[in-house]
Amino acid sequence: MKQVLDLRPVYHRLEDRIRAHVLLCWLALLLARIVETRAATADTATTWPRARDQLQRLHVGTFTGPAGLFRQTTPPSAEARRLHQALDIALPPRILDLDPEQPTTR
């Protein structure tokens, strides 16, 4: 069990902080298990590290051009698309709208 959870010492002293730490660790483990079970297919077992690596490849870049400031996301891989679909999460748009109230720099 310790190898799965990768337990390390906890340096909290107050009871509320210890409880919060344990709760956050439990929620993280629950999230990892939900991703693994929902993203698994009949022919492929998806592990949490593999899913995390695929999802971390999605980045947002902020650029300034002649039309002003805009944000663009990297194109998702086929595996990232499959994970989003399996988890019922919408893919981020390719070009993100900026707040019109936000000042632009040129």
Residue 63 reports pLDDT greater than 90: no
User: Would you state the pLDDT for residue 7?
Assistant: 63
User: Would you state the pLDDT for residue 1?
Assistant: 41
Measured CA angle at 8 (ends 7, 14), to 5 deg: 110
User: Would you state the pLDDT for residue 6?
Assistant: 64
Average pLDDT over residues 50-54: 92
User: Would you state the pLDDT for residue 98?
Assistant: 66
* DSSP letter assigned to residue 98: P
Reported as half-sphere exposure (CB side, CA atoms, 13 A), residue 77 has a value of: 12
Neighbours of 39 (CB within 10 A): 22
Residue 33 reports pLDDT greater than 80: yes
Residue 8 reports pLDDT greater than 90: no
Nearest of 87, 85, 79, 77 to residue 32 by alpha carbon:
87
Contact 96, 70 (CB under 8 A): yes
User: Would you state the pLDDT for residue 70?
Assistant: 83
Residue 67 reports pLDDT greater than 70: yes
